Amino acid sequence: MLSSSDKIQQANDKVIDILNKGEPWFVGAPPAKEVIPFFNECSSQGKHLITHAGPPVSGGYDAFSGPVQGSMIGICLFEGWSKTVEEAVSLLKSGKIVFRANHTLDGVGSMAGTISENMPVWVCENRAFGTKSFARLSDRFQQFGNYNVLDEVILWRDVIAPAMDKAMKKKGGIYVKPLIEKALQMGDELHNRPDALVTLFTQEMTIAMLEADVDHKSIITTIEFFKTVVWGALSIAMAVSKSLLLPAEDVPHSTIITAICRNGNEIGIRVAGLEKEFFTHAAPAVDCNYICDAQGRRYTKEEACNDLGDSAITETVGFGAPILLGAMALAPFLGVTRKDAEKYFVDTVKVSHGKSTSYYVPVFETYLPVGLDIMKCYQHNIQPVIDTAVSHKVPGIGIVGNGMTFIPMELIKKAVDAYHAKYNE
């Protein structure tokens, strides 16, 4: 009979093998209702569905953090369900809208992470395991809770997503694994810096759009969009990360984290051996490098919402903050030093079960550490690190800065205790 430590070792080895065998392909960018069945289930009951970032929230609209509320108002205006902010708030409080966490539907969304029926989503198919993940566009306004500027998500819906969807379907998909590999070698960490990835992906997409006879105006609009909205590639990295982790979400005895997500009020994690259960704790504040508003006044910590978004799915798979040393162009943006970045990597190695066999980071002369292990985090008293953006806590304002935060150790301990209770170990 295997000992408990042997069972954990074997299970965690299996998770690392799943991550390393992943084959992510982008196969479309259709409206969410075409690929996420729960939208149609809600519609058949006469209700709308809005999905959101982070762990599930109970209590209705009033229970959400300010930026998520603002983003939901933006969704109501975007969909045409409401004509004014006041009408949107009334609808959101009416009980006619269902709220669901993205992760429960195999999706992710940065910051507020809101997705509605006509919001196009990236579809990433992991062809090694036959699973599909979904991600909304990472724009510069609505995802942060700013409902006053919807131009980017409207352009995404009306022009860019249809053009790319046609191209991907004509081509049979775009294999993104080599693009991720190259982006890491070009100085991306793929969370707050996806600059190389957006260039590489746009190159591939441009060829695909030309081959699919997409009209030239739409092609030019798409290229110009991703030249300006570099953050758009964050959602590409998120969809890839989720697709790699999906097949590992239910591996008995494994202690590896398969999701990290935040909604502004709570942070949640899932663990491979704990049947997709969310473990939650109060969302941490972010050590933020604040920007200035339009009048030149710098935002303050009193105005900032706590940590927010599904984008830490990138850290879950090994991208993001742990490899900031390979993306030091972000240092002034996030307010970190080289010494900080070195520590993030060293600490992550200590609490990871294995290494990637594909994703190499030249500055470290090694492959990504992968498989954040709750037991190692607890034993070493190391909190996994996240780099992130920060939204204003008042609906309608948007981004206020960027910075660093960590998974609370109390949350890690909750998961450890649950593991021991489940397996009697």
How far is it, in rounded angstroms, from Cα 275 to Cα 261? Answer: 16
**Residue 182 pLDDT more than 90?**
yes
**Domain 252-423 superfamily per CATH:** v583 domain like (3.90.1700.10)
Query: Band of the pLDDT at 312, cuts 50, 70, 90?
Result: very high
| C-alpha torsion sign, points 164, 169, 171, 174 | positive
Q: What percent of the chain has pLDDT over 90?
A: 97
**Residue 356 pLDDT more than 80?**
yes
Q: Do 20-240 and 252-423 show the same overall fold?
A: no
Average pLDDT in the chain: 97
Query: Band of the pLDDT at 389, cuts 50, 70, 90?
Result: very high
Q: What percent of the chain has pLDDT over 70?
A: 99
Cα separations (Å) of 183 from 2, 193, 367, 416? 41, 10, 14, 35
Report the pLDDT averaged over residues 51-71. Answer: 97
The pLDDT tens digits of the residues spanning 212-270 come to: 999 999 999 999 999 999 888 999 999 999 999 999 999 999 999 999 999 999 999 99
Query: Band of the pLDDT at 406, cuts 50, 70, 90?
Result: very high
Q: What is the pLDDT of residue 4?
A: 86
Report the pLDDT averaged over residues 353-367. Answer: 95
- Which two three-digit tokens encode residue 38? 């729960």
Q: What is the pLDDT of residue 231?
A: 84
Q: What is the pLDDT of residue 3?
A: 73
Residue 7 pairs with which residues in a beta bridge? none
Residue 122 pairs with which residues in a beta bridge? 135
Is domain 20-240 annotated with CATH 3.90.1710.10? yes
Query: Band of the pLDDT at 2, cuts 50, 70, 90?
Result: low
> Where are the domains positioned within the chain?
20-240, 252-423
The pLDDT tens digits of the residues spanning 282-302 come to: 999 999 999 999 999 999 999
Q: What is the pTM of this model?
A: 0.97
